[in-house]
Amino acid sequence: MPKKTEDLDPRAVAVVDAAIAEIESDRDRQAFLFFLIAAAAAKVMSLQKP
């Protein structure tokens, strides 16, 4: 499993970074966006090569 951001697909990192920025700008949708980040992180980990 990757230990550093550099080991991840840069596109996936960009998506998560954008979602985090969205959370910081819109507190009303924080819980929903947190769920999306968790789902995206699970998907990224499932796509990583061993």
- 4-43 in b/e form (b: 16+ CB < 10 A) is eeeebeeebeebbeebeeebeeeeeeeeebeeebeeeeee
Q: Where are the domains of the chain?
A: 5-47
pLDDT at position 33, please?
Answer: 76
Q: How much is the average pLDDT of 14-27?
A: 76
The arithmetic mean of pLDDT across residues 9-27, rounded, is 78
Q: Which of 15, 24, 20 is nearest to 43 (CA)?
A: 15
pLDDT at 3 over 70: no
Coil, strand or helix: which one is 27? helix
**Average pLDDT estimate for 17-36:** 75
H helices present in the chain, as ranges:
10-25, 30-47
- Whole-prediction pTM: 0.40
